Structure 1
Amino acid sequence: MMNSIKILVVEDDELIRENILDLLDAEDFEGLGAENGYIGVEIAKAQIPDLILCDVMMPELDGYGVLEELRSEPKTAMIPFVFLTAKAEKNDVRSGMELGADDYLTKPCLPDELLKAINTRLDKQARIKEASQGQLDELRESITRSLPHELRTPLNGIMGFAELMSYEAEDLKPEEIREMADQILESSNRLYRLIQNFLLYADLELVSKNSDRLQQWRSQSTASIRATVEEMISLKADRFGRMGDLKYDLEESPVQIETSRLQKLVQEAIDNAFKFSPTGTPVRVMTKVKENTVLLTVINSGRGMTPEEIEQVGAYMQFNRKLHEQQGSGLGLAIAKRMAEIHQGSLTITSIPDEETRITITLPTGS
């Protein structure tokens, strides 16, 4: 009976390729053959095999090119990859491992050696998947067990106003219905953002424990920090009705973080500034480039934060603790801090109560 495990063999030598496929078939694996690197990449993206055996020395697109192409795609980045080569020089081994190869076999190799390498990689991949699934199960259980009060608050508002509209529909005036509908919409948006934040923080914790995803995240960049920051702070200022309070001075630089994650960092910092400072007081935003680092600073003149509140943001929120310890803006800033650190940066907060709060985010400059 055919095993559901698919193994792709990328090999330009037809005799070697067919011999390996025959061996895989005898061991009840589902073998997929590709006679060159380009076809191998296409099959890998379409079929998502469980493991790839790939020759190094091939015309046009060699094995290194195949590996680099597949590692750059999220859906193929985690597939175990084993090089097959007639060259056993140390430089070749090092080059393959630096690109993310999982193993390296020298041709010709005995069937037992090939099968041992295959089973070793499959077993390792299964353990990784099992560990990741265990982490996800733990997160789900903890979130369900410790659902914070702040998530229930907007839900209660939605249910309460909806129930009132349902029972009193005939007696309500149009303006009363509109006011209740606005309250439901506001509570819904708040609930949606809170849920998204909790799911994002869970994903950040998983990324921090997965070296492949971590490397992938850190390889992405944004061409213009000035354009991204200006867009986000203007949107927030308009939403709070405080365009007149917004002051900014933005230096230009590429930055080593993907655009949507940079937007999230800026959103949480500027949201905190507007939320906890009175209308009519300035909110200042600056970006400065120092050597290989970009500094993003957001300053507001509001009620400030106590040392205890700052410490709470600084402590990583662990999902085996009660989630109500991190609520509202605390969760948003905890997310921003964790995201900055995942990208080899930092987030720090300094505050003088009733005078000033300053959030400083550092990130590596992009290329």
Structure 2
Amino acid sequence: MKKILVIEDEEPLREDILETLECLEYEGIAAENGVIGVKLAQEHLPDLIICDIMMPELDGYGVFTSLRTHPQTATIPFIFLSAKADKSDLRQGMNLGADDYLTKPFTIADLSEAISAQIQKREVIEDQANQKLDELRTNISRSLPHEFRTPLQGILSLSEIVLSDYDLLDSKTMRNMLYEINNSAQRLSKLIHNFMLYAELEVIATDQERVAELRSNQTFTPETLIKYLASIKFQKAERVADLHLNLQDAIIQISEQDLQKVIEEIIDNSLKFSSAGTPIYIESSLKDSKYILSVLNYGQGMTQDQIAKVGAYMQFDRKLYEQQGSGLGLQIAKRLTELHDGSLTIYSNPGKDTKVEIALPIFQE
């Protein structure tokens, strides 16, 4: 049975609404003022809140604002009640983010329709969230066992050879094996880190306080950071001659640590899916209070369908290409930019080129 919290200081109306809810087969919870209403909402976590605006101590706007600052109550559907029919009053409630608005006096049919609409809306949102969660679980179950097993098998098999044939191996062979063991361990370590990071980002996305904390950070010299990371990545890939930089500087609204992760994943993706000897252009510019960073490579490219499906644990054309990876890199970069009120966009011509473009807010004094 759905729970509905009624916050109304006029006892007769409050009792009438509770009686109506009972007839409609909802569980009603009553609060005679805003302070008690906030407390009951946090205790019972109702499926819907119906709240009067004009109340002593804490009015309806105060109740709404208070509940929206707490993750557990931030998404509960909210219907305002008011004796006023002033458009400015209606606008204020809707600007705050209320879901609906009823003007007193209202009929049982009005109340029933408003409640039904919000309950159905919440159910649709929950169904969509569950569908995405199921999709994520499926992708994890399909890809993670393979992703973990491949580097782990390399570590186990090579280390067993080293242990069993230690006295027979020359120093060069030993060094090569140790290099491969280390390479597999690094890959496994990154996979575990990315898996944990992605899970953490999904949790942060549901907590407005943590999102606000993320957006309060700045990077003061992104140009220096991008040059440094690009230099390391291209040297390791032995593709220094392929790197072309054209960068501008600005103070942007993201921590240096998070920006580094975004840059690393985008550069890794460009190096992985393009051939040595083909150029990669890394450029930045300032536009409409945004810092625009783009990475362009001339590699295998992506179809529009593949771009639309960029998501966790999806890797396209796995059988056609030897590159390993869980497909989490771009999704993590995308999620990080979105959490910082930015965006990540992919432009691609299959078989020709791919450009990944991120836009992040510029710090405003």
Alignment of 1:265-284 (within 5 A): 265-271=262-268
Q: Distance in 2 between matches of 1:315 and 1:200?
A: 24
Instruction: Please report how far the alpha carbon of residue 80 of structure 1 lies from its aligned counterpart in structure 2 after TM superposition.
Output: 0.9
Pick the aligned partner of 1:96 from 93, 96, 103. Answer: 93
Instruction: Please report how far the alpha carbon of residue 61 of structure 1 lies from its aligned counterpart in structure 2 after TM superposition.
Output: 3.9
Q: Distance in 1 between matches of 2:256 and 2:7?
A: 35
In structure 2, what residue type is equivalent to 1:305? Y
Q: Distance in 2 between matches of 1:275 and 1:322?
A: 16
Q: Distance in 1 between matches of 2:314 and 2:355?
A: 28
Pick the aligned partner of 2:29 from 28, 31, 40. Answer: 31
Tell me if structure 1 keeps the 8 A contact 2:229–2:264: no
The residue number in structure 1 matching 2:192 is 192
Tell me if structure 2 keeps the 8 A contact 1:84–1:104: yes
Pick the aligned partner of 1:85 from 82, 87, 100. Answer: 82
Tell me if structure 2 keeps the 8 A contact 1:340–1:347: no
SS in structure 2 at match of 1:363: strand
Gap change, CA 1:260 and 1:14, over 3 Å in 2: farther
The residue number in structure 2 matching 1:305 is 298
In structure 1, what residue type is equivalent to 2:150? N
- CA deviations on 1:72-102 (whole Å, 9 max, x unpaired) are 4443232111111111223322332232222
Pick the aligned partner of 2:128 from 127, 131, 150. Answer: 131
In structure 2, what residue type is equivalent to 1:309? G
- CA deviations on 1:256-288 (whole Å, 9 max, x unpaired) are x798865543342355578899xxxxx998765
In structure 2, what residue type is equivalent to 1:152? H
Instruction: Please report how far the alpha carbon of residue 53 of structure 1 lies from its aligned counterpart in structure 2 after TM superposition.
Output: 0.9
In structure 2, what residue type is equivalent to 1:50? D
1:161 maps to 2:155 = yes
Instruction: Please report how far the alpha carbon of residue 104 of structure 1 lies from its aligned counterpart in structure 2 after TM superposition.
Output: 1.1
Tell me if structure 1 keeps the 8 A contact 2:42–2:72: yes
Tell me if structure 2 keeps the 8 A contact 1:56–1:64: yes
In structure 2, what residue type is equivalent to 1:155? R
Alignment of 1:5-154 (within 5 A): 5-21=2-18, 23-24=20-21, 27=25, 29-33=27-31, 35-36=33-34, 38-59=35-56, 61-141=58-138, 144=141, 147=143, 152=146
The residue number in structure 2 matching 1:354 is none
Instruction: Please report how far the alpha carbon of residue 55 of structure 1 lies from its aligned counterpart in structure 2 after TM superposition.
Output: 1.2
TM-score, L = length of structure 2: 0.64
Tell me if structure 1 keeps the 8 A contact 2:252–2:360: no
Tell me if structure 2 keeps the 8 A contact 1:155–1:188: no
Q: Distance in 1 between matches of 2:159 and 2:234?
A: 28
Instruction: Please report how far the alpha carbon of residue 295 of structure 1 lies from its aligned counterpart in structure 2 after TM superposition.
Output: 2.6
Instruction: Please report how far the alpha carbon of residue 51 of structure 1 lies from its aligned counterpart in structure 2 after TM superposition.
Output: 0.8
Instruction: Please report how far the alpha carbon of residue 223 of structure 1 lies from its aligned counterpart in structure 2 after TM superposition.
Output: 4.5
Q: Distance in 2 between matches of 1:18 and 1:52?
A: 15
TM-score, L = length of structure 1: 0.64
- CA deviations on 1:307-355 (whole Å, 9 max, x unpaired) are x3376898233579973337668763465367657956454679xxxxx
Gap change, CA 1:259 and 1:97, over 3 Å in 2: farther
Percentage of pairs with the same residue: 33
1:323 maps to 2:323 = no
SS in structure 2 at match of 1:76: coil
Q: Distance in 1 between matches of 2:228 and 2:258?
A: 17
Gap change, CA 1:323 and 1:269, over 3 Å in 2: closer
Instruction: Please report how far the alpha carbon of residue 125 of structure 1 lies from its aligned counterpart in structure 2 after TM superposition.
Output: 1.4
- CA deviations on 1:214-264 (whole Å, 9 max, x unpaired) are 9x979973442326886798689789998xx99997634354x79886554
Pick the aligned partner of 1:226 from 214, 220, 224. Answer: 220
What value does the CA root-mean-square deviation take over the aligned residues? 5.4
Of stretches 178-187 and 97-106 in structure 1, the one that deviates more from structure 2 is 178-187
Q: Distance in 1 between matches of 2:187 and 2:261?
A: 21
Tell me if structure 2 keeps the 8 A contact 1:223–1:366: no
Tell me if structure 1 keeps the 8 A contact 2:219–2:252: yes
Q: Distance in 1 between matches of 2:200 and 2:128?
A: 19
Gap change, CA 1:67 and 1:233, over 3 Å in 2: farther
Gap change, CA 1:261 and 1:54, over 3 Å in 2: farther
The residue number in structure 2 matching 1:280 is none
SS in structure 2 at match of 1:52: strand
Gap change, CA 1:320 and 1:241, over 3 Å in 2: closer
Consecutive unaligned residues of structure 1, counting only runs of 5 or more, are 278-282, 351-356
SS in structure 2 at match of 1:53: strand
Consecutive unaligned residues of structure 2, counting only runs of 5 or more, are 168-173, 275-279, 349-353
